[in-house]
């Protein structure tokens, strides 16, 4: 069941299969009568379930006290009438007030509990939010930008358009895009508060203004439909355990005729000479290791299929190789050194044997050796792809 109210400003829905009652949008009635239909829908949902009813408010943007009291009155009454009933309210730290308003309910009614959705966002979140990873991200963007600044116009980037950089990380790509292409509007969204804080500082230090940095859940964004001409999501589908959910959201926010641009890797194709075999072994093992953390770092060549399955047409795919010949070889070596530290820690966390970790680290060190060797060659392949939202 789906219902809408107050001139479509909010929606309520009940999924009986999952026993989830969801509230989304802005609910600011002047009296309870204005939301009577939605209150009735909650009562019907409670009557229809046995055991647990999930009340999902992750996408609730605003709710005034009249609406809050009306919905909660129904929930509290139901708990007191039915000892078998449990209510789990799912909030999001993206909309901080929801955690404050709903959390106290568990202290006055033991049959109600409140969970913050974001704490279980995805398995690799703790690694990405490690601030020691920030220098690696900056070095990566520095090397990839040499290629992407010429690739992006072929995929639709141009001055004067509305751009969204989803999963913007530390925001340096948004800064470069703002300076190079001068879009009319650019929104940069990420789930990591430390990364966003860093991004704002970088933009301020570089004197770059006009970037709208936004905290948000990329799989359920509080951005309106059909807003942007060009949406980017770089190196992120591969670290989410459900990339199709992100693509669904990217499809939703891009305008008909606009394009979504993604970049992803195929880590097992990282290469180097000399010591090629050691390097190849480590990156094959890296892909296997990260699969245990629900990351698919082999996603790059799969981009076309993912975009097609999400509903995009006119799909463009190309690949480029970041190498030790792209400027200072030390920049490439610094990236690999950062990878070695982070991925060795993940291997240890996964319970790999010390002998494995030693060999695993050796492959990264050999990749660094190849990058810095006067006759060496080291590569890191990336796939760039985009698709158009049909008109």
From first to last of the 391 residues of the chain, give the pLDDT tens digit.
445 555 557 889 988 877 889 998 888 898 999 999 999 999 999 998 888 898 988 778 788 889 999 999 999 999 999 998 999 998 877 666 777 788 888 888 899 988 876 544 444 555 555 666 677 778 888 899 999 999 999 999 999 999 999 999 888 899 999 989 999 999 999 988 778 888 888 788 777 888 999 988 887 788 889 999 999 999 999 988 789 989 999 999 999 999 999 999 999 999 999 999 999 999 999 999 988 888 899 999 999 999 999 999 999 999 999 999 988 899 899 999 989 998 998 888 888 899 999 999 999 999 999 999 999 999 999 999 999 999 9
Distances (CA, A) of 54 to 43, 58, 75, 233, 361: 13, 12, 11, 31, 45
DSSP secondary structure letters along 40-81:
HHHHHHHHH-SSEEEEEEEEEEEE-HHHHHHHHHHHHHHHHH
Round to whole Å and give the CA distance between 2 and 262. Answer: 32
Can you tell me which residue has the tokens 């589908």? 237
Q: What pLDDT sits at residue 137?
A: 79
Looking at the whole model, is its pTM more than 0.85?
no
Round to whole Å and give the CA distance between 189 and 234. Answer: 12
Can you tell me which residue has the tokens 């509903």? 311
Distances (CA, A) of 98 to 57, 85, 89, 276, 300: 8, 22, 10, 53, 37
Query: For the chain, what is the largest distance between any 2 Cα atoms, rounded to a whole number of angstroms?
Result: 78
Burial class (CB in 10 A: 0-12, 13-18, 19+), 254: buried
Give the residue among 113, 138, 121 at the shortest CA–CA distance from 215.
121
Cis ω for the linkage preceding 343 (within 30 of 0): no
DSSP 119: G
Judged by DSSP in three states, 24 sits in: strand
Distances (CA, A) of 181 to 188, 338, 384: 15, 30, 18
């Amino acid at each position: 069941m789906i219902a809408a109210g107050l001139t479509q400003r909010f929606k309520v829905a009940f999924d009986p299969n999952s026993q989830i009652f969801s509230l989304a949008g802005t609910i600011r009635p002047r009296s309870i009568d204005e939301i009577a239909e939605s209150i009735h829908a909650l009562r019907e949902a409670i009557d229809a379930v046995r055991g647990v009813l999930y009340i999902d408010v992750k996408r609730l943007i605003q709710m005034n006290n009249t609406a809050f009291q009306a919905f909660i009155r129904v929930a509290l009454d139901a708990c007191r009438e039915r000892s078998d009933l449990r209510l789990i309210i799912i909030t999001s730290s993206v909309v901080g007030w929801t955690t404050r308003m709903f959390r106290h309910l568990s202290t006055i009614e033991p049959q109600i509990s409140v969970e913050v959705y974001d704490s279980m966002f995805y398995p690799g979140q703790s690694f990405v939010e490690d601030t020691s990873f920030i220098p690696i991200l900056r070095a990566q963007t520095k090397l990839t930008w040499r290629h992407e600044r010429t690739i992006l116009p072929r995929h639709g980037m141009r001055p004067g358009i509305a751009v969204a950089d989803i999963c913007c990380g530390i925001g340096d790509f948004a800064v470069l895009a703002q300076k190079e292409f001068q879009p009319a509007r650019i929104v940069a969204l990420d789930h990591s508060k430390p990364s966003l804080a860093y991004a704002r500082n970088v933009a301020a230090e570089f004197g770059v203004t006009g970037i709208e940095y936004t905290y948000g859940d990329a799989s359920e964004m509080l951005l309106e439909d059909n807003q942007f001409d060009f949406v980017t999501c770089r190196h992120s589908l591969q670290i989410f355990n459900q990339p199709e959910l992100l693509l669904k959201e990217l499809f939703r926010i891009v305008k008909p005729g606009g394009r979504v641009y993604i970049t992803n890797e195929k880590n097992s194709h990282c290469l180097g000479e000399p010591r090629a075999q050691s390097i190849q072994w480590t990156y094959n093992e890296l892909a296997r290791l990260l699969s245990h953390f629900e990351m698919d770092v082999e996603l790059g060549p799969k981009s076309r299929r993912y975009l097609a399955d999400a509903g995009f047409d006119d799909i463009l795919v190309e690949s480029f190789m970041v190498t030790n010949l792209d400027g200072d070889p030390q920049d490439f070596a610094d990236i690999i050194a950062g990878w070695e530290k982070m991925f060795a820690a993940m291997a240890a966390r996964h319970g790999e044997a010390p002998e494995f970790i030693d060999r695993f680290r050796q492959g990264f060190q050999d990749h660094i050796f190849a990058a810095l060797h006067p006759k060496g060659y080291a590569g890191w392949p990336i796939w760039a792809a985009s698709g158009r939202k049909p008109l």
